[in-house]
Amino acid sequence: MLTLYGMPDSGNCYKPRLLLAKLGRPFRHVQVNSVSGETRTAAYLAKNPNGKVPLLELDDGRRLAESNAILLHLSEGTRYLPTDAYQRALVFQWLFFEQYSHEPYIAVRRALLKYPARADQATPDRMAHLLDAGHGALGVMETQLRVSRFIAGDALTVADIALFAYTQDAAFAGYEIARFPGVTAWLDRVRADEGHVPLDWLP
């Protein structure tokens, strides 16, 4: 059986949980708390030298890190990853957008507000920068979601799962989500898609 190492309230860790739930694929979940340092122990670093969750362990013990790489691996051959070469490429594009232009702002601002241990890093300058850059990311999504139902086309793909993970908490993180009606409607479409489970769902 698959084993997923992850933190229940992390959006990055939620991504593979949501996909596995939608696929109806059983897995074992092992809680690893990155905020309290459990990803930096020698035992964990032997599993993932980059010291991050989520981490997927396959039946045969081989491992795979990086939430979006896990999404791509698990979605191959399913309806969540297109077969057409250009459609697949657009899914890749939005997955890299998520990790480079979205998560470093929206997920980070959420974490700074959510975890008291990180409050000293939440300087006014940093919070203002994260707000501005995150609004920029939401604006890029809005431009796309005015012309397509899902982020990479007409059907929900792993790119939607990746972007949903932290966009669902954008309001909590201080973003003016009402300025982005296309994004707001898309959040509802993702939630309404078959097999959806919330952030705190565990197997």
What is the dihedral angle through the alpha carbons of 117, 98, 25, 44, rounded to the nearest 10 degrees? Answer: -40
Among the listed residues 92, 115, 131, 184, the single contact to its own copies using CB under 8 A: 92
The distance of closest approach from Cβ of residue 39 to its own copies in the complex, given in angstroms and rounded to an integer, is 13
Omega of the bond prior to 116 within 30 degrees of 0, cis? no
Looking at the chain, how many residues does it have?
Answer: 203
Among the listed residues 26, 50, 83, 120, the single contact to its own copies using CB under 8 A: 50
Identify which of residues 182 and 196 has a Cβ nearer to its own copies in the complex.
182
The distance of closest approach from Cβ of residue 192 to its own copies in the complex, given in angstroms and rounded to an integer, is 26
Identify which of residues 67 and 157 has a Cβ nearer to its own copies in the complex.
67
Q: Pull the structure tokens for residue 83.
A: 């077969």
**Calpha distance 194→12 (Å, rounded):** 20
**Calpha distance 104→119 (Å, rounded):** 17
The distance of closest approach from Cβ of residue 151 to its own copies in the complex, given in angstroms and rounded to an integer, is 12
Q: Which stretch binds its own copies (CB under 8 A): 23-31, 139-147, 165-173, 174-182?
A: 139-147
Q: Does 49 bind its own copies (CB under 8 A)?
A: yes
Among the listed residues 25, 96, 132, 181, the single contact to its own copies using CB under 8 A: 96
Buried b (16+ CB within 10 A) or exposed e, 63-97: ebbbbbebbbebbeeeebbbeeeeebebbeebbeb
**Calpha distance 87→91 (Å, rounded):** 7
Q: Does 93 bind its own copies (CB under 8 A)?
A: yes
Q: Does 83 bind its own copies (CB under 8 A)?
A: no
Identify which of residues 101 and 168 has a Cβ nearer to its own copies in the complex.
101
By CB under 8 A, the count of residues binding its own copies is 34
Q: Which residues contact 128 (CB under 8 A, 6 or more apart)?
A: none
Q: Does 76 bind its own copies (CB under 8 A)?
A: yes
Distances (CA, A) of 181 to 8, 136, 140, 200: 29, 15, 13, 25
User: Footprint of its own copies on this chain (CB under 8 A)?
Assistant: 49-50, 52, 58, 62, 64-70, 72-73, 76, 85-86, 88-90, 92-93, 95-97, 99-101, 103-104, 139-140, 143-144
